[in-house]
Amino acid sequence: MKNIVLLVCLFIGFNVSAVESGDAENGKAISGTCAACHGADGNSLIAINPKLAGQHKNYLVKQLQEFKLASQTGGKEGRNNAVMNGMAAALSEQDILDLSAYFSSQEATQGEASEDAVAQGSKLYVGGDLQRGITACIACHGPKGNGTSLSGFPDISGQHSDYIAAQLKAFRSGERANSLNGMMADIAKRMTDKDIEVISSYVAGLH
């Protein structure tokens, strides 16, 4: 009897693990509606839309779940975005896992930083600004901007500078409020428009 119970537990555990990992092939099959904004392989050609290719799967899952939550709560909870709320509303949890598995498995294209932004951007990214209470980006996103999957910090390397700037401004204004412990809002509210401009360009060139 104990052996049977053990086998059942192992079987259930295996299936839960398989579901949580997502099916990249199915994700590719259902990703057609994503392609218009994010590109067929997740490398968006539209600078205001983020590249999804190579992003940490757990981060993608979290964002899609929060867009869906916003669609269910009229934007009062989750991550509110008029376009993405509608796109995520009809997704099942398995769809979310599968799409995240697919896009995370793709290779991201590299971006390029403006030469004018490299010196100041590097200083802010690596050292922050203690006098103004701006935490160094490198502390969470790493020296190459890759972030970490387990901690939930996204890969921002090579991301479109327009998109990064828009998100920092959204965190600063409170329009976006779904970062871990609200840390991005706390950092962004201390940043000037010039800070955001140079750091967004600098990040685009990281790889």
| 64 band by pLDDT with thresholds 50, 70 and 90 | very high
* Polymer length of the chain: 207
**In the numeric block, which tokens belong to residue 154?**
């996204």
Per-residue pLDDT tens digits for 15-46: 334 346 899 999 999 999 999 999 999 999 99
Tokens of 89: 């509303």
Q: Give the SS3 label for residue 134.
A: strand
pTM of the model: 0.89
